[in-house]
Structure 1
């Protein structure tokens, strides 16, 4: 007999394991690993969705429950993805289904819909009048969804329905349906032969349809009506007379419109690009996979190297994944590769509809698309024969997931290239400290592009001391030097990009009389004033309130607005340059789907003169007409408590400065700072990554931070502060006891327990322990035991390994 090892959807971490189910004889030859099944679960035998992780032949299956049904005709997960699920569960402390939900698109998932029908054998006449009325209503419908029944009868609760189910008058069943249906179109097929058509008595309009089908073959009804001008009734009559037949054909909801195969133009490489390409080409197909770092200054033409590598991989019959850190970079990359490879390109990012993401996933899975482009989720694209993964701007924090499973796309990519004997290519002008360290120490191969591509030159970079600006009477956001340069750009019909990594109008509101600061009632954070809606808003939980004219503490009329955000700078730009067309790009101005790509397209077409934005404008974008970049508040992130603050500041400044002078015109960059003597600012001005790395790596080594250790942040939250604090202390005590006894070989350094840097978010109190460690099997075993405690109330517990920020 055969059993299936099944993981259950919705299982909490305490119940997350593989359960054995007997496969009925009728399902024995059908069921395969990677399929979805319906199984009874728990003491009440609730019907639950599960995934089959493997099947086994056994001699004895006594006491096992049986699989009820199988949802799929073929496996949703292949062998690679099943192994990846197991690996993610072990590495990120997530559940099986957390991993599965990150691998497959949400739309393809199944949902259980509860339906009710009348038991034909039950004597309805014996029921009470209100019960009888319900059964008559359900009987008239045949069957009805539970939610629809409650709504239709305007019932306040399910007491009446449950009573009828308990009595046996109503039958309650769970039916599995796909969350997002397949997109289909109605297609016409000509049933009559050419000879038969000559003898048929049909109208002139009907002849238009049959003639069209004779020449074109099976065609959608919509297309037939468009080209022949006939009405739906003409087609219905032909179908009724069996001259044609209609059937449903699945179509894909494409988020792009490319030609079938694209057009592959020659890619001309410089000597340094050719050298890098040849070296990287040798890494393709290496046993066990390979990892390489392509380090090139901004504008050095890393993309041209990508194109040549992708050509090589596709010509060998393999597939490619190209990853970008932000949705904003997707249209630019998609356009480049789409023109080259046509409909063989698929795209993945969160701004797409669920139906589009599901269809793109299907196209990749069935081999219609062999190049997958997108943000973090693209790393799971189901390419069967993977040859290359490119992670562009690999240092970006967006490649790390902040919710379970808390994976880094780079680690998923390493797993996949190892499985496929493929190449992982990391690319950046400012690589992460860990990646550059690995490259210098031989773990990755290192390839450099030290000069800009073509005639482009690195921009001339200078700083402005904002303290001096203030002392000289300029209290605005824009320095006189930057204003002068913007004026020159506008007069020359060129464009400028300005970076301020803080949205809103003012960063906080305070009363100078009593010291009151407007804070969020749900979070331990000050409210940010937004001029567009005249409200103070919390950027953590979304809470907002109108601005008070008086201080709520002392009733003073002297509330002051401090700090600056993109909205305030936008107002100042409009005042200084009333004829300039200013585009503000931040999370507030790009809420609607596709708005970001639309704005970028309009800026590229010259519809705007100045683009002002947060970090989303800082990297990867290529606008040849941009000759000026201005950085406002360059040192905002530099004084953060996070150990990556210097790295993040240097990278952001270097990247945004690199947006200037990428065409045939010289570029300039101006960095406004209150710390002009800072070494980080000096290095960013010189665009000297190697010098920055040399300084920073010494600090990391001395302080024992990555890459010289791993960091695990264990976090606890609860709506009750005492519960959260008690839980974190229990875990801390468990860790101390375990490393003093059973795990003496596990070396670590513990910081905490302590309150999180923002102690309360959305009414949940937060505490954490930061552990410097080696994230090996022994540490994972120890930490799982330490976290195995009885939880009280609504306490939430998670662990994040090597997070992008420890704040």
Structure 2
């Protein structure tokens, strides 16, 4: 007797509080493997949903289980390691199984389960049954071809549209079916090849030419054949019709970097003594299967050369490599570097690609056609089965932490994968996170320092410009006198400059002089920013915008005044001060176009521009030999927030942007403009003194019991009504107090009372939070999971979403 098989399935669109591995029956004769997607009936209505098989086991009572409807994948998409990763993500980040599954798959490969209707009888038979006008309209539509439920409901456009569909189904006139459709199809091209037929005497002259070409080269795309033979598609069509050839489809990959495929002849990289020592230390760690190492080096010290040399050893061993950068703006130069060296071995993962391109890059990795992945946070999930090295460049960046479910940190996922593969995780930075440096100094990671710049390059000379003195002297522009003089000198010498102003737009806020109100977004508790390019006030959170006007929306007086400076205003003032200068603005407003960031940086590298002014996307990862001046237009913006990481972020940003200067043979300089020149963070960043900054910061963290000496868990609450969200946070606090006291009294934790988020209202939703200072271990996560499930099951707060975020990069 054949043994029945039960499958454990992660089902999509399940809420966390009732999510589990749901058990289904694999019908006899149906083949499925762990890691394949299936269509399953779900819930009391048995609506069809997509799922992922996580396990297989013998089934003793098949009559108790619902059967799988269909298997959607011919071969498994997920490996055994990835199934383990799915379970780890669910346990650690309080997400559903399928939320974790979606992280590991490219968006384009996902199926959409849709309900379709087909005509079950002939149109004439249906019309003989005395249908209403609406029913006849619907039958007429379905007589042409099947249609989705949404399209039919839109066509009927009446209150009883659902009941019309149900009535026709129950009468057997139409039939309901479920279909699984991919969001993005595979890219294919039409190919032609000869059949087993030799006598070509009956062919015309052009057909004979095509026949001869195919005999010599085998198969070819129809497009190429017509182009090179100088014929229209009717000629190969005739050849196929006569049985001499046949058409077939061949999959091809959509590659956004196709023009950069051929690797250049590379010279052996000459490492300095410091680099050689770091490389040998890291190679030893890699050979021993060690988990994590920190490559710490000042800006321009040649960290990239060290890990490129290490990558060559990993590739030579037949293993694969993931290189992560924190954001798309840092990708172009890294991608270009890897393409020059490794060509088609490189795949690229980032959100700037189309869905089809992302899907095809994922498939190239899955099929073993690429052994290096370069990309942003999502690259950590690249489907390698023999991983040898993961490099996290600028490892301290907050963008490695996801701000939506699952709220994972790429560094933690990288640690999991490296432990599984016995691979090396290499963290690289000139300003490592305080936690990473602490772990390196206490022995959890090994540290490999590069204290000097590579070659003859020297660290830039840094000047701090006191903007208080500038204001007293009557200078109201964005630029200090020192920076104006330095820009003038640089332009005269034909050298380039980078200016950082971490605020986009023209003016940063608008205030009414009459009533004192700040003009704010109606959907968010945040001020609007004036954009000169479109003469509108815009919200940088939800995208709301209105035409700019002097009339106050509160008191209706024409007293609105615009203040503060953004990148648009800085660009305008630069053009006024230096009309001969070619100025390039780089921010999210000016780089919306596809690959526009790469194109603009290429133009700057080619000398088409003299000055870049931009937001933090110009602060890191850029390496231009002709840049000898960096200006920070406002160093105070990030220093005085509510987050304990404000000092760390400010030091990082200032140190990194200053490090863009003087990376070639010429000496560099930097000017930091500030209203608080006495601030220790600014002083230490000007001196590029990370060691002193770390010593002071770690003492502060130890005294306040902040990471790395404790973990933070933020419990967030989001809903449409502020009172309900506030009450929900207080209710959760009571649940926490009771459960912790009764069953988890041995867990050390400190809990701060619920409070409104810094930005309380965002996109018309109110946000509250409570903070738990604790140790993030399995027992704590078990308690938090129970609390979230208990809270979510309470119907009085069904309109409020609660989530847990472990060690968030900032408060809400």
Instruction: Tell me the TM-score range normalised by the shorter chain.
Output: over 0.9
Equivalent pair of 2:134/2:156 in contact (CA under 8 Å): no
Partner residue, 1:18: 21
Partner residue, 1:179: 183
From the superposition, tell whether residues 204 and 565 of structure 1 become closer, same or farther in structure 2 (CA, over 3 Å).
same
- Residue 264 of structure 1, CA deviation: 4.4
Equivalent pair of 1:260/1:344 in contact (CA under 8 Å): no
Mapped to 2, the partners of 1:417 and 1:704 lie a distance apart of 29
Mapped to 2, the partners of 1:512 and 1:131 lie a distance apart of 60
Partner residue, 1:126: 129
- Superposed counterparts of 1:296-695, under 5 Å: 296-695=297-696
Partner residue, 1:786: 787
Mapped to 2, the partners of 1:358 and 1:582 lie a distance apart of 37
- Alignment match of 1:805 (pick from 796, 799, 810): 810
Equivalent pair of 2:121/2:174 in contact (CA under 8 Å): no
Equivalent pair of 1:261/1:344 in contact (CA under 8 Å): no
Mapped to 2, the partners of 1:23 and 1:701 lie a distance apart of 55
Mapped to 2, the partners of 1:773 and 1:693 lie a distance apart of 23
- Residue 149 of structure 1, CA deviation: 3.8
- Residue 118 of structure 1, CA deviation: 1.8
Equivalent pair of 1:347/1:374 in contact (CA under 8 Å): yes
Equivalent pair of 1:506/1:530 in contact (CA under 8 Å): yes
SS for the counterpart of 2:64 is: coil
Equivalent pair of 1:285/1:421 in contact (CA under 8 Å): no
SS for the counterpart of 1:237 is: helix
Moved more, 591-600 or 613-622: 591-600
Partner residue, 2:732: 731
- Alignment match of 2:8 (pick from 2, 5, 9): 5
- Residue 259 of structure 1, CA deviation: 3.6
- Residue 144 of structure 1, CA deviation: 2.8
Show CA shifts across 1:735-758 (max 9, x none): 111222211111111112111111
Equivalent pair of 2:135/2:164 in contact (CA under 8 Å): no
Moved more, 712-721 or 147-156: 147-156
CA RMSD of aligned residues (A): 1.6
Mapped to 1, the partners of 2:770 and 2:148 lie a distance apart of 47
- Residue 285 of structure 1, CA deviation: 4.7
Show CA shifts across 1:315-360 (max 9, x none): 1111000001111121111111112111110000001000000000
- Residue 145 of structure 1, CA deviation: 2.9
From the superposition, tell whether residues 62 and 546 of structure 1 become closer, same or farther in structure 2 (CA, over 3 Å).
same
- Residue 454 of structure 1, CA deviation: 1.6
Mapped to 2, the partners of 1:745 and 1:167 lie a distance apart of 64
TM-score (norm 1): 0.97
Partner residue, 1:164: 168
From the superposition, tell whether residues 506 and 549 of structure 1 become closer, same or farther in structure 2 (CA, over 3 Å).
same
Equivalent pair of 2:39/2:50 in contact (CA under 8 Å): yes
Show CA shifts across 1:384-416 (max 9, x none): 110000000000111000100100100000000
Mapped to 1, the partners of 2:570 and 2:546 lie a distance apart of 22
Mapped to 2, the partners of 1:384 and 1:260 lie a distance apart of 25
Show CA shifts across 1:672-711 (max 9, x none): 0111111111111110101100010000110111111100
Equivalent pair of 1:263/1:341 in contact (CA under 8 Å): no
From the superposition, tell whether residues 219 and 377 of structure 1 become closer, same or farther in structure 2 (CA, over 3 Å).
same
Mapped to 2, the partners of 1:705 and 1:638 lie a distance apart of 18
Show CA shifts across 1:715-742 (max 9, x none): 1011111210111001101111122221
- Residue 159 of structure 1, CA deviation: 3.8
From the superposition, tell whether residues 439 and 228 of structure 1 become closer, same or farther in structure 2 (CA, over 3 Å).
same
Mapped to 2, the partners of 1:51 and 1:554 lie a distance apart of 57
SS for the counterpart of 1:738 is: helix
Partner residue, 2:195: 191
Moved more, 143-152 or 388-397: 143-152
- Residue 100 of structure 1, CA deviation: 1.2
SS for the counterpart of 2:727 is: helix
- Residue 215 of structure 1, CA deviation: 2.1
SS for the counterpart of 1:361 is: helix
From the superposition, tell whether residues 261 and 298 of structure 1 become closer, same or farther in structure 2 (CA, over 3 Å).
closer
Question: What count of residue pairs does the alignment treat as equivalent?
Answer: 801
Equivalent pair of 2:574/2:583 in contact (CA under 8 Å): yes
SS for the counterpart of 2:808 is: coil
SS for the counterpart of 1:283 is: helix
Show CA shifts across 1:146-201 (max 9, x none): 344445666674442233123332101111121110000011112246xx25x522
Equivalent pair of 2:314/2:320 in contact (CA under 8 Å): yes
Q: Which consecutive residues of structure 1, in runs of 5 or more, have no partner in the other structure?
A: none
From the superposition, tell whether residues 182 and 699 of structure 1 become closer, same or farther in structure 2 (CA, over 3 Å).
same
- Residue 2 of structure 1, CA deviation: 0.9
- The answer to whether residue 747 in structure 2 is matched with residue 746 in structure 1 is yes
Mapped to 2, the partners of 1:180 and 1:689 lie a distance apart of 47
Moved more, 777-786 or 436-445: 777-786
Moved more, 601-610 or 693-702: 601-610
Mapped to 2, the partners of 1:621 and 1:260 lie a distance apart of 23
- Residue 236 of structure 1, CA deviation: 0.2
SS for the counterpart of 2:537 is: strand
Mapped to 2, the partners of 1:680 and 1:719 lie a distance apart of 40
